[in-house]
Structures are given as structure tokens and as C-alpha cells.
Structure 1
Amino acid sequence: MEKSMSMQRRDFLKTLGTITVAGGLAGCAESSTSNEQSSLDKIFSFADNKVPMNAANLCPMPSAISKAIAKYNDELDVDMSGPNRTRIMALKNQARNDIAMQIGVSGDEVAIVRNTSEANNIVVQGISLNNQDEVLLWDQNHPSNKVAWKVRASRMNCHLRHISIPPDTNSIDEVVEIFSNAIGKKTKVVSFTHISNITGFRLPAKEICRAIKKINNDIHIHVDGAQTWGVVDVNLLDMGCDSFSGSAHKWYMGPREVGLLVVRKHNQHKIWPGVVSVPWGNEAEASVVGARKYEALGQRDDSAIAALAETVKFHNQITTAGIDKQAKSIANQLRQKLIDIDVPFVSPHNSNFTSNVIILSAPQETRMELINNILNDAGIILAPPGGLRLSPHIYNTPDHVNRVVDAVNKHRNFLS
């Protein structure tokens, strides 16, 4: 099994070796396993004693993307004329259209916002609801898709209900049935996180969406894709949701403070933006087309947004399917090695619900000490949400897996 994964890793690095994003990634792969870190060093700039395994919160950008941001900043500082700014900002629409193709929607359904939290709140605060309308939420939603609804409900008399998934759930059908049974006559919105950041549980989004639409096609389904976009090969047309959110700084390995809100065309009239500024226009009706009305936020970081276009190229050259496959491979290797040393899990083992977010049970009061011990011993950066959270991505290697597993085993007394 390990030999097979090692071969997959070498094949993947060879694929990376063909990438030329921003002219900075050519010739980065080596065929020898011993040179894996050297190969990655040519793509990412993190140190070998500060290896990120925290993609659920923050990913490193490929060095070429960081350089692209600096390049566009320098170009703007040298020339802030209208034509130069227009040239740089044209990359925003290029990124919009290319991302739309990646996820199976049209460019007019994509808004480039600042992050998932902002995207979620545009839906939460902007969707049209009447008094006593009901919103169904998964109890593992991120605060921007859970607490934000509480704030909305506190100023408007809509009703919130929460859906729980028992830890011993075995089948996709069971999860779908839980959601289906919760739908009532007053249900207007169902909003859930695709992959939980506190358990790593992956909901069967497509099956849930189809079941809900079969019951009532008018129910608005919002999917928080913060732990999905950039690591899971998703097609939103196939998934069947009405809106979707994501952040470039997580699994998409892109610029910080750049995010994604997708609102399908037939639902855009239902959701009002939270901020109205340039380039909305001068009338109550937006002059911009489609989902662009959700990004009328005034002055933005033009350089970061322009560099999003370079990030899209990075993904396209590896392919979203290739990233999905490699990310699953390294996560499965990590999960199995942790199972082998018999440590307590929060995350599921059932392959119907597993993801690249892997969480071990660890008491709140000692988590940071455990995380610091692992960083000192293994040089791997982890995070505390939900327990001891490990979220590997395509830049993590079998060596990183072995190092972190050895460190977890050494400090297993910190686990629950």
C-alpha cells in the first residue's frame, strides 16, 4: 500500500513539473522520493521545520502566486492610471469565468467577495424571508452559517431549527432521511456546511439537495464550501444547490481575503447584497450583471484579486480531479496510520463521510501544548478546532505523514 502511494506521489510531482504558472513552476518535479521536499520547495516556500498541515484554516500559496501579487502591486505603484488599473482588473473577470467553468456554473453566477464568512452572511442577511419562515441548519455549521442566522432571527421573527447527525450513522441514505424528515411546510431555507471544520464529517451534499428539491423545489439550499473548494472536485450544477461559498486562502491555495459566492441565476432576485458601493451604479437597480452585485464593495486589493487568475491556472494545469485524487491519497494514508496506532478519533472512519479534515479527540485545556509539542518535535503545524485537527493537502508528503504520526504517538497522553 505504501509503495503504491509513493508511486502516486512521484507521478503527481511529475505532473507538477509541467506547471508554468507565472513562469515560476517549471521543472519542479523529481522522480526520486528522497527529493520530494526539494521538489516542493520549488513550488512552495515553507520551511521543512514549519510544514503546514492546516489547510482547513490557511494554506500556503505557491511561490509564483505570492510573486504575482507583488508584481501587480509594483505595477500599480508605478502606474495608477485608468488604463493600467483596467488591465489588471480585467484579470478578475478572467478568474471569474475560469472558476465558473471549474465548478459547473456560468460566470454571471459568480461573485468574487472577500471570504466564506462574507459570502455566507450575504445569503444569511440578504435572503428574503417572512415572519415565521423556517430555516434548517446543520448543528455543525461554521459560526458564519450558524450564529449569523441567530443574529438574523433575533431581529426578524424567522424560526431556526437544527439538524443533528448521530455519530454512529452508517449510510448516506440515513443522512438524507434525517434532512428530508426535517422539512416542513414553513421551511424556506436549508443551509449546511459541506464538510465540518470541527469533525471533518462530509455530508452527501448532492443526495441531500436532490431529496430536498424533490419535496419542495422552492426551498433555497445554501452550501458552505469552505472545506470543499480547492480540494474536492465539485460540480454545482450536479450538486443542485442554490448558492455556494468558499475562500481562496484555504484549500484553493490562493490569495488571502479573496472569496467566492455563487448564486444561481434563478435565485439572484431573492438575495440582497449587504454592501452597496462601487461598481453598483447610481440607481436602486444594479447596473452590474448577475452575481456581480454582491461584490460592489468599493476599493479592494486589486493585486490579490488579479493573482486569483494565476491561482486558477495552477489548478487547471494540475486539474481539479488531479488535486482531489492526490489530496485524498495523502489524507487516507494519514488516517490509516493514525488508526494503526489506536488513537481516539472525532472524525468518522466510514468512507461515505470522510474528508481531508481529520480530527483526534483532545481536551481543550491541553490542545495548544500538544500542538506546540508536535511542532517542536516534527516541524508540522496543526490546529485546535474540534480537537487536534490535521488537514493535509497536496503539498504534504509521506514523510510529513510519518513525522506527525510519530509525534502524535509520542505525545498521545495529551489525547482524550
Structure 2
Amino acid sequence: MFKAPDSDGAASAAESVDCRPLITSLSDVGLLSKERGRALTDKLNRFFEAVRAPSKKTDEAFWTDFQQEFGFATVAPSERVTPMNAANLCPEPTALIESLNELRLEYNLNVSQQMRTVQGERVLQLERTRKSLAFGLGLSDPTDLAIVRNATEANNAINCGFRGWSADGNDTVVMWAENHPTNREAWKMRAEWPGGPTPFKVEEVSFPTNAPEADIATAFINRITERTRFVTYTETANSNGFRMPESVMRAIWAHVKTNRPNCHVHIDGTMAWGARPLDLANAYCHSLVSSAHKWFLGPKETGILFMRKEKARNFMPSIFGYDYRIVIVPYRELPENALRFELIGQRDDVNIIALDLTQKMWTALQPRRPYERIAQLAQHLMSRLQQTGSRWKLVTPSDPARSWGVVRVEAPKEHREKTLYDWLYEDPRYHIAGSGDDKTFRLCPHIYNTIADVDRAVDGMNAWYDDKRL
């Protein structure tokens, strides 16, 4: 499931990244002037060539240059806010934002239904984007992938839409206690809502982060009975940064496939898409969701919902409206695949194009092994923190087999005037944007960060710990 792309294939694909077909198709139908189309093509191809940089080695100098493709890196150092919270929100490359802003103005010149229905260019573009994303995720059939607004919507489509509950209310959902609220509290709300649909029972699985992998798998499997309709967990918890070991995921999947065919395995992959290679053709689940605005570096209010066809028919869409062709599908004729989760009315067409362009960027980056870079940054951060002795207690496991890009530490405010979260953001020497409260602090460096950024963040954390004010 987490298989890195073939290096030769990735290199070949990277060499073929070219925006001309996409922009030309928009110009040919009048959505984009020829002059503006040529200018956008040049801008985007310059960006992708800078990303590919075939003459450069993949070293710290390359990643430092790559950082310059993001707006925050061009701000004066005294005013710059360095993002290091990829588990929440990431910046987008400047060239993509500028191009898409121009494209949005051009799109506004022709909002006709002819462009937005059946074989209109905007419909064709969404289908091309779906195909591009599916290819990047290892899927041969793009209709296994719905383009939704974010993982929140997708998780709720799962826990709200299922219609296979037994009438006696004794069906169960087995879930990890560290699931995101949209994949934890949302289940509980629907299980306990007075006067709601058929009730079911929620069983939570907890375990220490240093538990043996076999014990973690057993903790889930022992709770899966003939009445279990769902097993759901988060690939990497945004709470403590624990990454579910792949052997555990394989064991749960094998058990369900062999023994519980009526059970549905659902994975919240919000911390995975853009952080790790994903091969959904060999996924250890029936469905997986993610958001584009996090590790994927894509536009806001876009995300994905993957679902195997044999399970899709078990779900009633939580939203029923026009599909992306502006067609109301009769409710008795819903798509027998993931597209039944796309009946959400008018889409942001330009953001759909942004997804396609972002996927092209990741294709161009593949020879650079960007996912390994994410793990390198996180491991460097944890190594620096551990060099300070007992000062910083890691909440996230330091074992690279149980973590990836999310790093959380204990950071009790105690006598200090401000939390580490606020202090590190506000102090003019650092301006590091992380996440936290009065007890813990989280950093999630991404490929737009450098080793120097991580070192500066740790220096700032130590200054806060020692209460060194200006």
C-alpha cells in the first residue's frame, strides 16, 4: 500500500510534465485567450522545470532552492512566518496560485452551461484531473476515486451514509481512540443521537505507542465479531503522531477479508496523501479519505474519497444534488462506484485544475524522493530535541516505523507568560507556525522547509524553555 513509485517510471513521467495540453484545451474552447494561454503555459512550465532541475543534485541546496517557490520564503526574514504545521494547512507554490488566480478571472468571462455540462470543457477537465490523481495513487479505474471537498466531508459520507445496520441496534464499529473527531466523535454522535437512525455500538481500541505490533493487531482483531460493520483508524494520528505500523494494517485487512466479509475497513489517510507514497490498488481497506490542503500542497476545499466498488452500493450519499455535469441522477440510478459521493452541485472549476497541476508537481518531484525528505526532516527534529537530555519529552514515537512527519512534544506552560505555541509564533527572532496548547506542542515540517528551519525552531523551543525573552 505504501509502495514508492518505480524510479525509472517516475523519472520518465517527470520528464513528460508539460502544461501545454491542459492550457491549449482551455484556449481552444474560448475559456482562455490565446495570449493569456501562452503566458500561463510559459509560467507553469518554468515552475515545473525549476522543480525538476535535472542538472541539480538532490541535496540541501536543492531543497533550499525549492523553498523559494513558496511566497513565505520571499518575505523579509524579520517579517517571515515559517509554516511548520503540514498536518493542519500548507502553503501552495506561488507560481500555481498566481496562474490559477489569472485563470479564475478568465473563467469568469464565460460561465455558460455549455461549458459546464455533458462534454463541456469544465466537465472534461474534472475527468482529466480524476484520471491524473488516480494514476498518482496507483488506481487503474478513476471511478474508484471521488473528488470531494475535504476529508471531513469524506469521513462523514462514510459514518453518515451507511445503510446496512441491523434493526436490533447491536452492530458495532471498532475504532482507534486516536482517530480524528470527524472519524470518532462523528460515529458516536450518530450512534447516540436521540430519535436518529438505527443505533449501533462503538468500541474503542487503545494501546501504548510502544506496544508490540502483534499486540496492536490483536487489540483490533479481538473486537471484530460477526456484528462488526466497520473497523476504522487513522493512518497517522494528528494527536500524538503515531503511525499505524504496516504489519498491523495488513493483519486487520487479512482478518476481515478472510473472516468478516460484511465488515468494512475504513482508513483516514489525511496524514498520508502527499506525505507517503500511496498505492490504493493494493490498499489495506475498502475506503480511504484525505484532504488536498495538507501534505499534498493542493488547493483548499478539495479532497479525495477512494472506495472499492463492491462496497459503494452500501452507502446513501449524505448530499444529493447535481453531479459535476449539472445532471440530477435519479436516486434509484446512483453510480455503483465512488462517484455517488460527488453529487454536491456546483464545483470550483479552477480548484479542480489546481489539483491536476499539483499532481504534476508531485510527478516532477518523484525522482527527488520527496517522501523520504519529509521523514528526514521529522527525524532530524526529534534527534535535535533528544540531544537536550530530558528537557523535551516526545509524545511521538522516535521509531521511524511508527512515525513520519508529525512530531509532538510535551510543553507545559507552567510559570511562563505564554504557551510555546504562541511564543514561538510571536517572537520576532523565530516566527515559527506550529500547533499546540498549554500542555503540548506539535511541529510538522514539510518539503518547503529546510534543515536550517528545523534547527531554528529547536533553538526557539529551547529559548522558550529557558524563558529567554528579548
The separation in 2 between residues aligned to 1:140 and 1:162, in whole angstroms, is: 9
Residue identity opposite 1:201 in structure 2: F
Cα deviation, 1:112-137, whole Å, max 9, x if unaligned, reads: 11000000000000012222111001
Residues 250 and 111 from structure 1, CA distance in 2 versus in 1: closer, same or farther, beyond 3 angstroms? same
The correspondence of residues 41-52 of structure 1 with structure 2, limited to 5 A, is: 41-46=68-73, 47=75, 48=77, 49-52=80-83
- Alpha-carbon contact 2:172-2:202 (below 8 Å) kept: yes
Please point out which of 174, 178, 181 is paired with 1:143. Answer: 181
Give the match for residue 293 of structure 1. 340
Pairs aligned (count): 399
Cα deviation, 1:284-310, whole Å, max 9, x if unaligned, reads: 224656211201111122211221111
Deviation of 1:39 (Å): 4.3
Deviation of 1:346 (Å): 0.9
Identity rate, percent: 28
The separation in 2 between residues aligned to 1:202 and 1:345, in whole angstroms, is: 14
Deviation of 1:380 (Å): 1.7
The separation in 1 between residues aligned to 2:413 and 2:177, in whole angstroms, is: 20
Please point out which of 247, 259, 262 is paired with 1:218. Answer: 262
Give the match for residue 23 of structure 1. 45
Q: Does 1:132 align with 2:170?
A: yes
Deviation of 1:191 (Å): 1.0
Please point out which of 298, 301, 307 is paired with 1:257. Answer: 301
The separation in 2 between residues aligned to 1:287 and 1:211, in whole angstroms, is: 31
SS at match of 1:285: helix
Deviation of 1:249 (Å): 0.2
Please point out which of 374, 378, 381 is paired with 1:331. Answer: 378
Deviation of 1:43 (Å): 4.6
The separation in 2 between residues aligned to 1:189 and 1:367, in whole angstroms, is: 45
Please point out which of 114, 123, 126 is paired with 2:158. Answer: 123
Unaligned runs of 5+ in 1: 1-15
Residue identity opposite 2:203 in structure 1: R
- Alpha-carbon contact 1:72-1:88 (below 8 Å) kept: no
The separation in 2 between residues aligned to 1:175 and 1:374, in whole angstroms, is: 36
- Alpha-carbon contact 1:232-1:320 (below 8 Å) kept: no
The separation in 1 between residues aligned to 2:417 and 2:68, in whole angstroms, is: 29
Give the match for residue 241 of structure 1. 285
The correspondence of residues 15-414 of structure 1 with structure 2, limited to 5 A, is: 22-25=44-47, 26-27=49-50, 37-46=64-73, 47=75, 48=77, 49-85=80-116, 86-105=120-139, 106-128=141-163, 129-130=165-166, 131-154=169-192, 155=196, 156-169=198-211, 171-204=212-245, 205-279=249-323, 281-286=328-333, 288=335, 290-319=337-366, 322-342=369-389, 343-363=392-412, 369-375=419-425, 376=427, 377-384=429-436, 387-412=440-465
The separation in 2 between residues aligned to 1:302 and 1:308, in whole angstroms, is: 10
- Alpha-carbon contact 2:312-2:338 (below 8 Å) kept: yes
Residues 35 and 295 from structure 1, CA distance in 2 versus in 1: closer, same or farther, beyond 3 angstroms? closer
Deviation of 1:76 (Å): 1.5
The separation in 1 between residues aligned to 2:104 and 2:362, in whole angstroms, is: 23
Deviation of 1:68 (Å): 3.4
Residue identity opposite 1:165 in structure 2: F
The correspondence of residues 5-20 of structure 1 with structure 2, limited to 5 A, is: none
Residues 166 and 287 from structure 1, CA distance in 2 versus in 1: closer, same or farther, beyond 3 angstroms? closer
Deviation of 1:38 (Å): 4.9
Residues 290 and 167 from structure 1, CA distance in 2 versus in 1: closer, same or farther, beyond 3 angstroms? closer
- Alpha-carbon contact 2:308-2:337 (below 8 Å) kept: no
- Alpha-carbon contact 1:367-1:388 (below 8 Å) kept: no
| Higher helix content, 1 or 2 | 1
Deviation of 1:374 (Å): 1.6
SS at match of 1:316: helix
Residue identity opposite 1:108 in structure 2: T
The separation in 1 between residues aligned to 2:146 and 2:413, in whole angstroms, is: 37
Residues 266 and 289 from structure 1, CA distance in 2 versus in 1: closer, same or farther, beyond 3 angstroms? closer
Deviation of 1:364 (Å): 7.2
Residues 317 and 368 from structure 1, CA distance in 2 versus in 1: closer, same or farther, beyond 3 angstroms? farther
Deviation of 1:19 (Å): 7.3
Larger deviation, residues 287-296 vs 243-252:
287-296
- Alpha-carbon contact 2:413-2:420 (below 8 Å) kept: no
The separation in 1 between residues aligned to 2:453 and 2:402, in whole angstroms, is: 24
Unaligned runs of 5+ in 2: 1-13, 20-43
When the two structures are superposed, what TM-score results if normalisation uses the length of structure 1? 0.88
Residues 288 and 136 from structure 1, CA distance in 2 versus in 1: closer, same or farther, beyond 3 angstroms? closer
Larger deviation, residues 247-256 vs 362-371:
362-371
Residue identity opposite 1:383 in structure 2: S
When the two structures are superposed, what TM-score results if normalisation uses the length of structure 2? 0.78
Cα deviation, 1:349-393, whole Å, max 9, x if unaligned, reads: 223211210000123787963123222232321111782010011
SS at match of 2:339: helix
Higher Rg of the two aligned structures: 2
- Alpha-carbon contact 2:172-2:229 (below 8 Å) kept: yes
